[in-house]
Amino acid sequence: MPMSNHSIADLLGSSDQLVSKGSPYKLTAFLESVIPLETHSALYNSVLPAIVECISDIAKTLRHSQHVSLVGTANAFGDDQLNVDVSAENLVRACLTKCPSVVMASSEEDPVEKASGSTGASPNGAATQEQYTIAFDPLDGSSIIAPNWTVGTIIGIWTGTSALHQVPAEKQIASVLGVYGPRTTAIVALRIPGTEPSCFEVGIGEHGLQDSDIIRPKVQLASPPFKTRYFAPANLRAAAEDPKYMDLITHFVQNRYTLRYSGGLVPDIVHALVKGHGVYLSPVTGKSKAKLRRVYELFPIALIIECAGGNAIDPVDGSDILARPAEDTDERAGLVCGTTEDVEFVRKVLVAEE
């Protein structure tokens, strides 16, 4: 029997007990408790279930992709495409056509916002009143997939008909990180106006939605004191050009932070969320340009970090990642995100005082 809507506090208490006893807590019942069905029923009935199914399908495709190779084409940004990039892109696009409320979509492989191909009608034939835009990176981690390291899918869900020219802190209401490693999991963040933000982890099995359970009903970065502290320094070559970045690396080493950096944005972010502590750094210098695209990577990551109680800032000026709209799909920036105390320390070191 479906659960009636409860407060987040009540829900987390009961689900924590279920998880601690080893009894799976089904995703559909959980979603009913954290999504206001009177205003976002399509998000519950269609969009998030389709994304979970898609993550399961991508995981199965990767397991059967014995050879990772270039396909001889490049995406619109000029990046060489792998066969697995193309497969993941096609799977996400196919899943979105099943969601009548998804009216627009774009991706890092095809960065032009266009109609998703959905019918515009709900399963019972009625026109849907909800409208969502999806901005996604179908397979993040091309540089580390050949050695069989963990990679992921990054998805941002926006209200309305575009992810551009919109303040992400207001219009991006959900994001999902699909994680393909020894297990298939997803980190989901929801920040729907009028409801309490939530961030949770889902275990996804071979059979998609029917085989998906809540692993952690509340993903939360810890508060000090910290038992173990972690740092993930991306773009490390920039430390040779930027004394401030070198000072930060030295600080983390001297203060006995544990290095956890894989070279993949998704696994490095998820590591911090699983451990309850971590700071991810990807600075920008004159020679080391920004690589992370705001719409497809930074905005979804920042929403998840904020819903988990952390901060995400631009290392150039210290501004919040979600404060400024993107005017173009190829806008890029650096990233500092993670535990609030460490992000604030990095802000003070990297950002020059006026």
Query: Can you give the pLDDT at residue 352?
Result: 64
Q: In the predicted model, what is the mean pLDDT of residues 279-300?
A: 94
pLDDT in tens, 135-159: 999 999 988 998 999 999 999 999 9
Q: Supply the pLDDT for residue 206.
A: 87
Give the Cα separation of 132 and 142 in Å (integer). Answer: 28
Which uninterrupted H or E stretch holds 234? none
Question: Can you spell out the DSSP letters for 12-77?
Answer: HHHHHHHHHTT--EEHHHHHHHHS-HHHHHHIIIIIHHHHHHHHHHHHHHHHT-----EEEEE-TT
CATH level 3 topology of 8-216: Fructose-1,6-Bisphosphatase; Chain A, domain 1 (3.30.540)
- Does residue 299 contact residue 172 with C-beta atoms inside 8 Å? yes
Could you read off the pLDDT of 305-346 as tens digits, one per residue? Answer: 999 999 999 999 999 999 999 999 999 999 999 999 999 999
Q: What's the whole-model pTM score?
A: 0.89
Question: Which comes out higher in pLDDT, residue 245 or 13?
Answer: 245
pLDDT for res 323: 97
Topology alike, domains 8-216 and 230-350: no
CB-based contact 208:56 (threshold 8 Å): yes
How do 132-140 and 102-107 pair as beta strands?
parallel
Indicate the average pLDDT of the chain.
88
pLDDT computed for residue 120 by the predictor: 53
pLDDT of residue 24: 42
Domain 230-350 - what CATH class?
alpha beta
Residue boundaries of the structural domains of the chain: 8-216, 230-350
- pLDDT confidence of 80, banded at 50, 70, 90? confident
Q: Is 84 or 117 the better-scoring residue by pLDDT?
A: 84
pLDDT tier for residue 16 given thresholds of 50, 70 and 90: very low
Confidence bin at 8 (pLDDT 50/70/90): very low
Average pLDDT over residues 72-77: 72
Which pLDDT score, from 0 to 100, does residue 5 have?
40
Q: Region 268-292: what's the mean pLDDT?
A: 94
Region of poorest pLDDT, from 72-86, 157-171, 205-219, 330-344: 72-86
pLDDT tens, position by position, 100-133: 999 999 999 999 999 986 655 544 444 468 999 9
pLDDT digits (tens, 9 = 90+) for 153-192: 999 999 999 999 999 999 999 999 999 999 999 999 999 9
* Alpha helices (H) along the chain: 8-20, 27-34, 37-42, 48-63, 83-96, 142-145, 168-171, 243-254, 265-275, 299-307, 340-350
Query: What sign results for the dihedral spanned by CA atoms 128, 130, 135, 137?
Result: negative
